[in-house]
Structure 1
Amino acid sequence: MLTVGTNMPTPLYARYQIEFGFSPLVVTLVFAVYAGALIPTAMLAGALTDRIGYRRVAVTAVVLAATAAALFCLADGVAWLFAARALQGISVGAASGALTVALVETEPSGERARASLLASVMITGGGGIGPVLSGFLGQYAPLPLRLTYLLELALLAVAMAATTRLPRQTRPGARRFQLPRIPATLRGRFALACAVSVLGWAVVALFLAMVPSYATAIMHRHDLLLSGTAGGLFLLFAAGMQYALARGGTVTSPATGLLLLTAGLVMLAVAGGTRSLWLLLAAAACGGAGQGITFMAALARVNELAPRSSRAEVLSAFYMITYLGVGLPVIGVGFLAAATDLLTAVVTFSVVTAPACVLVAARVRATWADTA
């Protein structure tokens, strides 16, 4: 429910631009403030979760998410969007590690791999549903900038009911804030898992923040459902790939996922030059499948490595670094789009990121199996 709501604004930014009169650069900054709020929250929330328990942290996160939805619903200027996105970032920064720990520790048979799968499918699948749902409501329902968030508030009420049923959990230790710490013996393997995750989520950020407008530029028409589908399809394919691999019992190397991301970026760049909607959708499908593999593998590796006494701390550090990959590249793309144009900015991002995926894939092939 949290990740559905987090990505609901994605196709609506075009409507906000018309209503509030701001540039594409502001769109990227509104998107990026989410990561800017999430990262310091994740820095603090991991240690706090390890001390006071995941239930208390998760309940607070749902309350903050509902407050953000209310701000979106009441928004009459761009400042409201910044405030709402910041609260969404704080909410997800607090909840990501806490709810992943909750899945790991409440899994009936203690299977970390199954818990990791559920966490990654919920994050990616929810993120993909949000833009498609809000795009449909924005295009065809009344009150397009209000009804979406009223629906989100209803979903968050369900989330709160579920969260309050989590076991109460308090661990001994001083309730003090500290930066996440990674045990020295894990740092090399942890860093490689983070690199895999960062690349996947950097491409997600591009699809969520810029590809809806990119699709509009390719098609020369405004359609919120099309924009939402272009952004959300990426994450829906990611979730589908994760489920399919788990269902089939298939173990796929994250290097394969990185190479699929590379192919998706190439197709995305070519789609802009040829103005092909079908190639854009193919890029979303291919890149989404790659992201599904990379995130599932990276999260499973971190869950496997993390000691129980500091699992939330290690997971929060993982999410914190991952969301750097969400925030920083999309800001750069926004500034480049302001200086040139949107198509040039997206192509440039693709040209820079694709080789990075190939290099990390080579590193994974050489060392991932050896570090298991």
Structure 2
Amino acid sequence: MRPALPPCLYRHHQRQKRRESMIMKTSSFTLGRRASFWVSAAVVAHTLWTSAAPAMTYPLYAAEWGLTPTVTTAIFAIYPIVVVMVLLGFGDLSDYIGRRTTMLLGLSGSLLGVLLFAIAPSILWVFIGRAFMGLGVGLSASPSAAAVVEFSAAGQSQRAGAVTTAAQALGLMCAALVGGGLIEYAPFPTRLNFWFLLFVLTAIFAATWFLPRHTSAEARGRWRPKAIVVPKGIRDIFSSATIAVTASYALGAVVLSLGAQIAHDLIGSSNSLINGATIALFAVVAGAATIPARRLASTTAILVGGTASAVAVALLALSAAEHALPIFIAAAATAGMGYSLLFSGGLNLLSANAPAHHRGGTLSALFLVAYLTQGIVALALGTIATARGLAFAIDIGAMAIAALSIAAVLLAFRIGKSLPSLQSSVGKSS
């Protein structure tokens, strides 16, 4: 016979049982670790699909509403700007309320943004929809990346980074190919693309609902809005990882905000599917590059990725100057490799060294810098393209991205030499 509990312990035991009972009633079915891993990867994929979904419609908006490159790139840029605002205010939210809840909030924002694009009667609706897309991605980007790490098998953090990069590449590829195909061959070219994405996001939302409510990496205490803090012991690692991911996002800004316009205006390709396939090649190569990336050390991936990125922007500038589609295709493929290795290398470097209870907030800090730079690059290039022409804007963008890529290479080389001692100091401080 079990001994009677003291009254205070008995009441605590009963409260605990009631809480467990409520959890069972509100979550009659929960996904296992493997399924949760892939659902989290699907949420990662949605961030790039949602981001890139309007890319193929920018030339159509420009023709229908008489928009300048400044306006079309502003449509793109409002998204990373809102992402930055969300990360500043809610960057570590998932560390407290759970990855699942934060991802559901983010998917809700993305759903609303895509719906506004699907029914937009004017450019104002497009801007509002883009802002909601930024809200959705800002809330879900870091928790989904953290969830992929936390739901991966023990000792598989490198695989988690590769899967995250591949999921982003898949989302981008779907945005380019599905968007290009529907725009070129289906009715309602500025709308059907978004209705299809709305269906996909609804399915991802439904799957995310069944994720485990909390993970062991969740922080203690109640969440309050506060500044994102990077743990002191990993700040050198954070700097190297952030420059690498920022370089990849700046490269992505050129491909996503101006890629279709470059193909249409400078290369002379008027087929939306072909233009979309060229952008999709960027994504396909980015996804394929994750396979060898899994075998590379994080710093090595950044070294190779930074070099490929610098070569890619040089080819992009050359394709615009020569009006050559083959060179543009080569630039897109090389850019895909550079993007993939820079992003996965930076993400793996930071994820492997960030303390578990600070992982969501630390990744948010990384994404904050990357998205802010992406928005600035897109707006700046759009303004330059309007004032001086698209070809001149591409030349300026190529030089800026090459400089970022070289900085990423130099920092990775330095961190690679000092990483063992840095990891030792992190272990002692945590």
Tell me if both proteins adopt one fold, taking TM over 0.5 as the criterion: yes
**Residue in 2 aligned with 1:107?**
152
2:203 alignment partner in structure 1: 158
8 Å CA contact 1:67–1:87 kept in 2: the answer is yes
1:110, distance to aligned residue in structure 2 (A) = 5.4
Pick aligned residue for 2:170 from 93, 108, 125: 125
1:51 aligned onto 2:81: no
Cα pair distance change 1:358/1:175, threshold 3 Å: closer
Q: 104-113 or 133-142: which moved more? A: 104-113
Given that residues 146 and 360 in structure 2 are in contact (C-alpha distance below 8 angstroms), is that contact kept between their aligned partners in structure 1?
A: yes
Structure 2: tracts of 5 or more residues without a match: 1-44, 421-430
Instruction: State whether structure 2 residue 241 is matched by structure 1 residue 193.
Output: yes
Q: 1:286: which partner in 2?
A: 334
SS at match of 1:8: helix
Matching of residue 86 in structure 1 with residue 131 in structure 2: yes
CA 1:28–1:51 in 2, change beyond 3 Å: closer, same or farther? Answer: same
Does the aligned pair in 2 maintain the 1:218–1:277 contact within 8 Å?
A: no
Q: Secondary structure at 1:61's aligned position in 2?
A: helix
Give, in whole Å, the separation in 2 of the partners of 1:45 and 1:166. 21
Q: Deviations over 1:72-113 (max 9, x none)?
A: 011111111111111111111110111112212222435322
Structure 2 contact 267–319 (Cα < 8 Å) conserved: no
Q: Does 1:354 align with 2:402?
A: yes
Is contact 1:101–1:312 with CA below 8 Å preserved after alignment?
Answer: yes
How far apart, in 2, do the equivalents of 1:106 and 1:280 lie? 38
2-structure distance, mates of 1:186, 1:362: 18
Q: Do residues 210 (structure 1) and 255 (structure 2) align?
A: no
**1:154, 1:284 → 2: CA distance?**
29
| Aligned pairs for 1:318-337 within 5 A | 318-337=366-385
Find the counterpart in structure 1 of residue 225 from structure 2: 177
- CA distance in 1 between counterparts of 2:99 and 2:156 reads 18
The CA distance in 2 between the partners of 1:300 and 1:243, in whole Å, is 14
1:295 aligns with 2:339: no
C-alpha displacement of 1:125? 2.5
Aligned-partner SS, 2:135:
helix
Report if aligned partners of 2:73, 2:257 keep a CA contact under 8 Å in 1: yes
CA distance in 1, matches of 2:301, 2:417: 9
Equivalent residues of 1:69, 1:149 under 8 A apart = yes
Please state how far the C-alpha of 1:137 moved relative to its aligned partner: 0.5
SS, match of residue 198 in structure 1: helix
* RMSD across aligned positions (CA): 1.6
> How many angstroms apart in 2 are the aligned matches of 1:121 and 1:369?
28
Please state if 1:64 is matched with 2:103. no
1:186 is displaced (CA, Å) by: 1.0
Taking the aligned partners of 2:296 and 2:220, their CA distance within structure 1 comes to 40
Structure 1 spans left out of the alignment, 5+ residues: none
Taking structure 1 as reference, are residues 24 and 305 closer, same or farther at Cα in structure 2, changes over 3 Å only? same
With normalisation by structure 2, the TM-score equals 0.83
Q: For 1:77 and 1:368, how far apart are their aligned partners in 2?
A: 50
Extract structure 1 runs of 4+ deviating beyond 6 A. none
Over the matched positions of the two proteins, sequence identity in percent amounts to: 25
How much has 1:50 moved relative to structure 2? 0.8
Does the aligned pair in 1 maintain the 2:293–2:344 contact within 8 Å? no
**In 1, distance between residues paired with 2:370 and 2:283?**
16
